[in-house]
Homo-oligomer: A and B are copies of this chain.
Amino acid sequence: MKTRRKFINSLLILGTGLFASKKASAHPAKSVLIHQVYFWLKNPNKDLKGFIEGCEKLVKIDSIKKAYIGTPAVTERRDVVDHSFQVSLTVYFDSIEDHNHYQLHEDHKAFIAAHEDKWKRVQVYDTKIK
């Protein structure tokens, strides 16, 4: 019984270790591309909720590794910080091919068709992680 408990405890520690190492890793080997998009909406008061719902549907596209949808954080106002966007969309891909699959996906085209009249500016930065 004691040996069994010890072994089970080791497995639990192993599980926690995997979880912790994922959290702490600065450069997970597989996340090679960050597709970062900022949106400025014409009528945020009217359209923000519906637009975010559109983003939530968009990030279900199958080639996406992980995705974050956000709004400006209330950090200190500084000249170098742009808080003027309304929605930030951060999408991770394992490869350029996965990114291209997303760009050409029907659901991406549907998102653009349904929401492009809502934004006045889009700014994209694509980063390859070292």
Contact = CB atoms under 8 A, between A and B. Distances in A.
Interface of A: 4, 7-8, 11-12, 14-15, 18-19, 22-27, 31, 33-36, 38, 52, 59, 65-76, 78, 80-83, 85, 88, 90, 96, 99-100, 103, 122-130
9 contacts: A8-B11, A26-B67, A26-B68, A31-B68, A33-B75, A72-B128, A73-B128, A81-B124, A83-B126
Contacts of A103: 76
B59 A26 contact: yes
A4 to B, nearest CB: 6
Nearest to A89: B127
Given A26-B68, A66-B23, A68-B34, A128 B74 contact: yes
Given A34-B88, A126-B75, A69 B27 contact: yes
Nearest to A71: B128
B122 A96 contact: no
